Amino acid sequence: MFKWVDQMSLEITSNMLVREAMSSPVISVSENTDIVKLAKVMKDQKVGAVIITNKEEQPVA
């Protein structure tokens, strides 16, 4: 299982499944997004990672 350590972190254990750590809905931004805007989105959504998409909205990072 897992437990929240703080708003941006969670403690991961060996029994944890991906679905227990992922967020929904998926947060994504365009690869042309300004880095400051990306940081604000991540802070506002309280996530440590986002999906980066290209102009065809396909994930690239």
- Per-residue DSSP letter, 20: H
- Bond into 25 cis (ω within 30): yes
Residue 53 has pLDDT above 60, yes or no: yes
Domain regions of the chain by residue span = 23-61
What are the structure tokens assigned to 28, written together?
A: 């994504």
Q: What is the pLDDT of residue 27?
A: 93
Q: What is the pLDDT of residue 22?
A: 80
CB distance 42 to 50 below 8 Å: yes
Q: What is the pLDDT of residue 46?
A: 87
pLDDT digits (tens, 9 = 90+) for 4-51: 555 556 666 677 788 877 878 899 999 999 999 999 999 999 888 999
Q: Does 3 or 29 have the greater pLDDT score?
A: 29
Q: What is the pLDDT of residue 14?
A: 72
Please state the separation of Cα 61 from the chain's center in Å.
Answer: 11
- The answer for residues whose C-beta is within 8 angstroms of residue 17's C-beta and 6 or more apart is none
Among 3, 26, 6, smallest CA distance to 15 is for: 3
